[in-house]
Amino acid sequence: MATETVTVDHSTETIEKMRREFAARFGDCEGARVYFAPGRVNLIGEHTDYNGGHVFPCALTIGTYAVARLREDRNLRMYSMNFPENGVIESSLDGLAYRAEDGWTNYPKGVLWAAREQGYAADRGLDILYYGTIPNSSGLSSSASIEVLTGEVLRDLFGFDYDGIANAKIGQRAENAFIGVNCGIMDQFAIAMGRRDCAIFLDTATLAYEYAPIRMDGVRIVIVNTNHKRGLGESKYNERRAECEEALEELRTAASQGSEPSGRREIPSLGALTEAEFEAMADVIKSPVRRRRARHAVYENRRTMRAVKALKEGDLAEFGRLMNESHISLRDDYEVTGRELDTLAEAAWAVPGVIGARMTGAGFGGCAVCLAREEAVADLIREVGERYEREIGYPATFYVVEIGDGPVRLA
Q: Count of H helices and E strands in the chain?
A: 11, 14
Alpha-carbon distance 402 to 385, whole Å?
21
CA distance 236 to 234: 7
Contact 26, 128 (CB under 8 A): no
Single-letter residue type at 79: Y
**Residue 149: other Cβ atoms inside 10 A:** 31
Beta strands per DSSP E along 238-366: 354-360
SS3 helix, strand, coil % of the chain, rounded to 5? Answer: 45, 20, 30
Q: Is 123 annotated as catalytic?
A: no
**Active-site residue, from 49, 187, 333, 405:** 187
Strand ranges of the sheet holding 367-373, from the earlier edge strand across to the other edge: 2-5, 397-401, 219-225, 367-373, 354-360
Of 72, 113, 66, the closest CA to residue 94 belongs to 113
- Alpha carbons 269 and 274: distance in angstroms, whole number: 11
Catalytic residues: 187
